[in-house]
Amino acid sequence: MTESQETPVTPEGEERPHRRIKSFVMRAGRMTEGQQRGLEVGGPQFILPLAGEPVDYDQVFGRSAPRTLEIGFGMGHSLLEMAAAAPEQDFIGVEVHRPGVGALLNGVLTEGLKNLRVYDCDAIEVLNRCVADNSLDRLMLFFPDPWHKARHHKRRIVQLEFAELVRRKLKPGGVFHMATDWQPYAEYMLEVMSAAPGYRNQAADGTYVPRPEERPITKFERRGERLGHGVWDLKFEKLG
């Protein structure tokens, strides 16, 4: 869903010198008719091109409204539900998995939503090239790839450099909302974000917040809860 680093591997399983971190893992997948419809019909309307300068989203959406960006929306169920539940807000999703983009756009067409746009490219490029500083009310990163092995931790998207990039794009008082179902990654994100300058943890005890009502529960999450698996939400607010 999110997070990758283009790291070639030798036949012996050793990593060759790597390139820069990206925000995603490319995964192939077959298209359903609905997903294909979403891309063919919804793509020209709702997919935004990767720009070379900050985008005027007030012009894109035709209004000024609270604005949320989600990195790695997967199949788009949560983002679609959030956009439908808050028509007074605008949402921007970033995802490279084409079936997921198609599924989300098919939902946008079916529900007639006007408050959602999509990028189908690397989220780091989107943040750097398209999003103006101090412009987002919220940035969401839900269930990113935790890269379990210690030698792969450098591939995790949540790093101090990334936290600083997000901080620049948020408005003062804007919120970086993360969620994970793997406790070691939750602890890792808490450690990184607690060390990142310019943020305040919104959790009263300085750790995790209760699951916010605005974050929909996915089928995967419900299944995990039945199996006794936890989910950890973190909310860090940009200081003025």
- Catalogue the active-site residues: 145
Residue 91 annotated as lining a ligand binding site = no
Residue 221 annotated as lining a ligand binding site = yes
CB 138 within 8 A of CB 177: yes
Residue 12 annotated as lining a ligand binding site = no
Query: Residue 134: what residue type?
Result: N
- Helix (H) / strand (E) element for 224: namely helix 219-226
Rounded-to-integer distance, Cα 84 and Cα 10, Å: 46
Give the count of alpha carbons within 13 A of 189, CB side only: 30
Residue 154 annotated as lining a ligand binding site = no
Residue 90 annotated as lining a ligand binding site = no
β-sheet bridge partners, residue 136 = 170
Rounded-to-integer distance, Cα 207 and Cα 186, Å: 9
Residue 181 annotated as lining a ligand binding site = yes
Q: Which residues are annotated as a binding site?
A: 70, 95, 122, 145, 149, 181, 218-221
Q: Which residues are annotated as a binding site for S-adenosyl-L-methionine?
A: 70, 95, 122, 145
Q: Which residues are annotated as a binding site for substrate?
A: 149, 181, 218-221
